[in-house]
């Protein structure tokens, strides 16, 4: 027999605290669709994606209904297109992006990730073509997401690729100048990219993965915030160790929900279940914010002194709760701090509590990195590359994933407002130190070697 | 097997279970199942017992009444019918139906009528009505077994329509979600 407390607290988590399954992401292996004939490759990709993903949305809806848990986003992640389309030209790869976009629309998923390249140890022909195609591919499509892994703890940082990506981001922003550079919201530059992220824009299907896999992304910043608020309302003097324990238990519950839903969706689709990624991923809704958690913990706003320590506590507790809940935890699993996607974080920027430098500092203890950061449109490509290089260094040296999703908003300056709409949200544009200045360090290119602790064997 | 089912009702006080079980022991009965609960200040207990050969449910009832009536307890006794413990049932999935919303007369009757109409069995019902319009003060929790042959969409639709008319918020969820969230 269930207790009424178990039932009522479940209903509260669902109704008032925005507990949901943020994304069920179907990984689709396209490696055997490779070829040098564009039309042939396009046809095979379309057939494969639509064949495997045709039932994804209805099955997710049905399973969501059965448990009363909404599956908010249904998505697809494909093999890196730089590999699948290695023999194709940049113009051809833009056509591949259109094919992916059309297939995604056909099966009613909101994003399809995997317009990706892995270049941490060098740029192959397909990688160069893909990176060259990214600006137009992202500008011309609505649902395609791109990612490029430019660094790893084992390989170091490919600074040639970092330099190239700075220019690529700038170009993508220019092509979507009428939408505040929205193409850049669909492009992540990574260090140590996981092969099984269910969250966009970084989702792709790793080279080591099977033909198809279901990965699930669960969120729940509102659930964590409410758990903290409830505990503090009865015990206002609760110490940080106790709060960490509370967050851990809450993360456990949320992760269990993700695994339940993911396994059932996978079973109904006849596809193997991959991982559950518990990430506190905010949306631009009140009560669904990571920033609000910092305030519940006692900080004036995210960004003030104490923020890094608070985020370290939060990220660690989330990971521990997730690890206890499931033996299939993967992806990023931690706390996201995407500026424009979180009302409270963008408010902290507007009020001057959070600057780029503090954001960079806290990425050393969060699960991703500089995410959805709007910067002035006149920031030079070299400076964008330099920001990326700093972020990659944090990931490489600390043996963790970091990423940069930067949007140089065309025609706008620091303090102006950028609007991306929908899940991508809006933000005040952050000032960048030496934004337009020269940067010979970055232009040197080459590789920053792997750190000493990469020599593990 | 010679079995009886008893229900005991009365104002709650210490010693009810002791008094019932002592009487059963004295009559050489064996308790097979017991479930007891309290609603507000009232005690309710249901016992299934096996009786020695030659003892009837009526004999047992008389014995229980004479020992429990002084405690203000009401006893109902009925022989268990053969086959009661071997009911053939269709395969079912366990769901939980919850409602929250303003109190009024007839809520349980209205909701349980829809559940019954679809051939769904209620295995446990908890309801608290404190009155007034605060949703958290008026809650019904039905644990039900939904036969796999039942059209789930139609059941959900009928329940939602009924709940809307009663201004209730209703949820129909597979039981696993609650166990997954709260139990290791």
Q: Which of B136, B139, B178 sits opposite A2 (nearest CB)?
A: B178
| Final residue belonging to a domain, choices B64, B79, B94 | B79
Q: Do the beta carbons of residue A340 and residue A428 sit within 8 Å?
A: no
CA nearest B178: which of A70, A255, A7, A62? A7
Domain that holds residue B117: 86-181
In degrees, to the nearest 5, what angle opens at C-alpha B51 toward C-alphas B48 and B53? 155
CB < 8 Å from A in window 89-108 of B = 96, 98, 100
CB contact A230 to B (< 8 Å): no
CB contact B26 to A (< 8 Å): no
Please give the share of chain A, as a percent, with pLDDT higher than 90: 86
B141 and B121 together in one domain: yes
> B95: which 2 tokens?
């769901």
Backbone phi, then psi, for A114, in 5-degree steps? 125, 5
**B173 DSSP assignment:** E
Which residues of chain A make contact with B151, given a CB cutoff of 8 A?
Answer: none
B32 and B106 together in one domain: no
Q: Is B84's pLDDT higher than 60?
A: no
Burial grade of B133 (CB within 10 A; 0-12, 13-18, 19 or more): exposed
CB contact B176 to A (< 8 Å): yes
Task: Summarize the confidence of residues A10-20 as an average pLDDT.
Answer: 82
Which residues of chain B make contact with A1, given a CB cutoff of 8 A?
Answer: 124, 143
B61 and B102 together in one domain: no
- Beta strands A187-191 and A402-409 are antiparallel
Q: How many CA atoms lie within 13 A of B135 on its CB side?
A: 13
Please give the share of chain A, as a percent, with pLDDT higher than 70: 100
CATH number of B120's domain: 3.30.70.260
Q: Is B182's pLDDT higher than 50?
A: yes
B70 and B102 together in one domain: no
B27 and B113 together in one domain: no
Task: Summarize the confidence of residues A126-151 as an average pLDDT.
Answer: 98
Compute the nearest-CA separation of A267 from chain B (Å).
16
Number of Cβ pairs < 8 A linking chain A and chain B: 59
- The three-state (H, E, C) secondary structure of B62-115, written as one string: HHHHHHHHHHCCEEEEEECCCCHHHCCCCCEEEEEEEEECCCCCCHHHHHHHHH
B125 and B99 together in one domain: yes
Q: Do the beta carbons of residue A131 and residue A164 sit within 8 Å?
A: yes
Which residues of chain B make contact with A13, given a CB cutoff of 8 A?
Answer: 181
**B135 DSSP assignment:** G
C-alpha separations of A144 from A23, A41, A77, A195 in Å: 16, 17, 10, 18
C-alpha separations of A201 from A25, A132, A186, A368, B96 in Å: 12, 18, 5, 12, 37
> A24: which 2 tokens?
């069920």
In degrees, to the nearest 5, what angle opens at C-alpha A420 toward C-alphas A415 and A424? 110
CB contact B143 to A (< 8 Å): yes
pLDDT at A435: 93
B16 and B94 together in one domain: no
pLDDT at B83: 61
What would the pLDDT profile of B140-160 be if each residue is shown by its tens digit? Answer: 999 999 999 999 889 999 999
Task: Summarize the confidence of residues A281-299 as an average pLDDT.
Answer: 91
In terms of pTM, does the model score above 0.90? no
Which residues of chain B make contact with A68, given a CB cutoff of 8 A?
Answer: 171-173, 177
The b-or-e profile of A121-141 (16+ CB within 10 A means b, else e) is bebeebbbbbbbbbbbbbbbb
Which run of H or of E encompasses B59? helix B57-68
The residues, any chain, with a CB within 8 Å of residue A136's CB and separated by 6 or more, are A90, A94, A175
Task: Summarize the confidence of residues A72-88 as an average pLDDT.
Answer: 97
d(CA A416, CA A113): 30
Residue with tokens 């935890």: A329
Q: Is A355's pLDDT higher than 90?
A: yes
What would the pLDDT profile of B100-152 be if each residue is shown by its tens digit? Answer: 988 888 888 899 999 999 999 999 998 888 877 776 778 899 999 999 999 98
pLDDT class for A2, splitting at 50, 70, 90?
confident
Least confident of A94-98, A218-222, A353-357: A218-222
Which residues of chain B make contact with A256, given a CB cutoff of 8 A?
Answer: 180-181
| Final residue belonging to a domain, choices B79, B111, B135 | B79
Total structural domains within chain B:
2
B165 and B94 together in one domain: yes
Task: Summarize the confidence of residues A141-161 as an average pLDDT.
Answer: 98
Task: Summarize the confidence of residues B50-79 as an average pLDDT.
Answer: 91
Task: Write down the ipTM of this complex.
Answer: 0.78
Compute the nearest-CA separation of B121 from chain A (Å).
15
Backbone phi, then psi, for B139, in 5-degree steps? -130, 135
What would the pLDDT profile of A205-221 be if each residue is shown by its tens digit? Answer: 999 999 999 999 988 89
Interchain contact, A8 vs B139, CB within 8 Å: yes
B103 and B156 together in one domain: yes
| Final residue belonging to a domain, choices B33, B49, B79 | B79
CA nearest A206: which of A400, A327, A30, A450? A30
What would the pLDDT profile of A248-271 be if each residue is shown by its tens digit? Answer: 999 999 899 999 999 999 999 999
Average pLDDT, chain A: 94
B34 and B69 together in one domain: yes
pLDDT at B86: 46
Q: Is B82's pLDDT higher than 70?
A: no
Strand partners, A218: A21, A278
Which residues of chain A make contact with B182, given a CB cutoff of 8 A?
Answer: 6, 9-10, 253
Please give the share of chain B, as a percent, with pLDDT higher than 70: 95
CB contact B160 to A (< 8 Å): no
B67 and B97 together in one domain: no
B90 and B75 together in one domain: no
What would the pLDDT profile of A102-135 be if each residue is shown by its tens digit? Answer: 999 999 999 999 999 999 999 999 999 999 999 9
Compute the nearest-CA separation of B126 from chain A (Å).
8
Compute the nearest-CA separation of B1 from chain A (Å).
28
Residue with tokens 């009363």: A68
Helix (H, G, I), strand (E, B) or coil at B61: helix
- The three-state (H, E, C) secondary structure of chain A, written as one string: CCCHHHHHHHHHHHHCCCCCEEEEEEEECCHHHCCCCHHHHHHHHHHHHHHHHCCHHHHHHHHHHHHCCCEEEEEEEECCHHHHCCCCCHHHHHHHHHHHHHHHHHCCCCEEEEEEEECCCCCCHHHHHHHHHHHHHHHHCCCEEEEEEEEECCCEEEHHHHHHHHHHHHHHHHHCHHHCCHHHHHEEEEECCCCCCCCCCCCCCCCCCCCEEEEEEECCHHHHHHHHHHHHHHCCCCCHHHHHHHHHHHHHHHHHHHHHHHHHHHHHHCCEEEEEEEEECCCCCCCCCCHHHHHHHCCCCCCCCCHHHHHHHHHHHHHHHHHHHCCCECCCCEECCCCCCCHHHHHHHHCCCCCHHHHHHHCCCCCCCEEEEEEECCCCHHHHHHHHHHHHHHHHHHCCCEEEEEEEECCCCCCCEEECCHHHCEEECCCCCCCCCCCHHHHCCCEECCCHHHCCC
Q: How many CA atoms lie within 13 A of A427 on its CB side?
A: 39
Q: Is A444's pLDDT higher than 70?
A: yes
**B118 DSSP assignment:** T
């Amino acid at each position: 027999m269930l207790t009424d407390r178990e039932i009522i607290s479940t209903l509260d988590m669902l109704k008032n605290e925005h507990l949901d399954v943020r994304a069920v992401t179907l990984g689709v292996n396209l490696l055997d669709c490779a070829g040098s004939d564009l039309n042939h490759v396009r046809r095979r990709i379309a057939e494969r994606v639509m064949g495997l993903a045709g039932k994804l949305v209805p099955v997710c809806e049905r399973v969501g209904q059965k448990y009363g848990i909404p599956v908010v986003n249904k998505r697809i992640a494909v093999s890196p297109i730089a590999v699948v389309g290695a023999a194709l030209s940049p113009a051809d790869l833009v056509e591949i992006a259109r094919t992916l976009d059309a297939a995604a629309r056909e099966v009613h998923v909101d994003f399809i990730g995997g317009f990706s390249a892995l270049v941490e140890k060098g740029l192959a022909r397909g990688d160069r073509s893909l990176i060259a195609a990214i600006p137009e591919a992202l500008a011309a499509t609505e649902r395609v997401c791109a990612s490029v892994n430019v660094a790893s703890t084992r390989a170091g940082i490919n600074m040639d690729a970092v330099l190239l990506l700075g220019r690529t981001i700038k170009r993508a922003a220019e092509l979507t100048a009428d939408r505040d550079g929205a193409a850049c919201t669909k492009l992540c530059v990574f260090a140590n990219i996981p092969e099984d992220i269910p969250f966009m824009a970084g989702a792709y299907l790793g080279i080591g993965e099977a033909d198809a896999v279901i990965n699930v992304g669960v969120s729940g910043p509102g659930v964590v915030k409410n758990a903290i608020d409830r505990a503090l309302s009865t015990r206002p003097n609760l110490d940080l160790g106790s709060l960490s324990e509370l967050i851990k238990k809450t993360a456990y519950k949320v992760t269990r929900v993700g695994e339940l839903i993911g396994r059932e969706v996978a079973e109904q689709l006849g596809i193997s279940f991959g991982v559950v990624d518990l990430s506190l991923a905010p949306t631009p809704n009140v009560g669904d914010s990571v920033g609000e958690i910092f305030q519940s913990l006692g900080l004036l706003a995210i960004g003030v002194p104490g923020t890094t320590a608070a985020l370290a506590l939060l990220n660690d507790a989330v990971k521990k709760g997730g690890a206890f809940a499931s033996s299939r935890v993967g992806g990023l699993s931690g706390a996201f701090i995407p500026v424009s996607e979180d009302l409270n974080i963008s408010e902290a920027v507007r009020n001057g509590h959070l600057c780029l430098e503090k954001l960079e500092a806290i990425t050393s203890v969060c699960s991703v990195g500089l995410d959805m950061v709007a910067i002035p449109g006149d920031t030079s490509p070299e400076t964008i590359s330099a920001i990326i290089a700093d972020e990659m260094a944090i990931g490489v040296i600390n043996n963790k994933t970091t990423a940069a999703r930067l949007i140089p908003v065309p025609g706008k300056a620091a303090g102006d407002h950028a609007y991306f709409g929908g899940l991508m949200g809006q933000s005040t544009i952050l000032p960048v130190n030496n934004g337009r200045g020269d940067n010979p360090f970055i232009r040197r290119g080459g590789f920053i070697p792997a750190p000493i602790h990469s020599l593990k064997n | 097997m010679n079995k009886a089912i008893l229900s005991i009702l009365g104002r709650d006080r210490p010693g009810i279970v002791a008094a019932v079980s002592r009487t059963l022991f004295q009559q050489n009965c064996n308790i097979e199942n017991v479930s007891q609960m309290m609603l507000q200040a009232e005690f309710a207990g249901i016992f299934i017992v096996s009786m020695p050969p030659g003892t009837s449910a009526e004999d047992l009832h008389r014995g229980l009444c004479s020992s429990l009536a002084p405690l203000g307890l009401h006893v109902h006794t009925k022989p268990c019918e053969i086959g009661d413990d071997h009911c053939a049932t269709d395969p079912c999935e366990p769901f939980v139906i919850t409602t929250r919303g303003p109190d009024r007369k007839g809520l349980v009757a209205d909701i349980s009528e829809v559940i019954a109409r679809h051939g769904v069995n209620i295995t446990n019902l908890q309801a608290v009505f404190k009155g007034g319009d605060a949703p958290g003060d008026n809650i019904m929790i039905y644990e039900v077994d939904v036969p796999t042959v039942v059209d789930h969409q139609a059941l959900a639709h009928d329940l939602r329509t009924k709940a809307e008319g009663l201004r209730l918020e209703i949820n129909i969820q597979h039981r696993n979600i609650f166990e997954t969230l709260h139990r290791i």
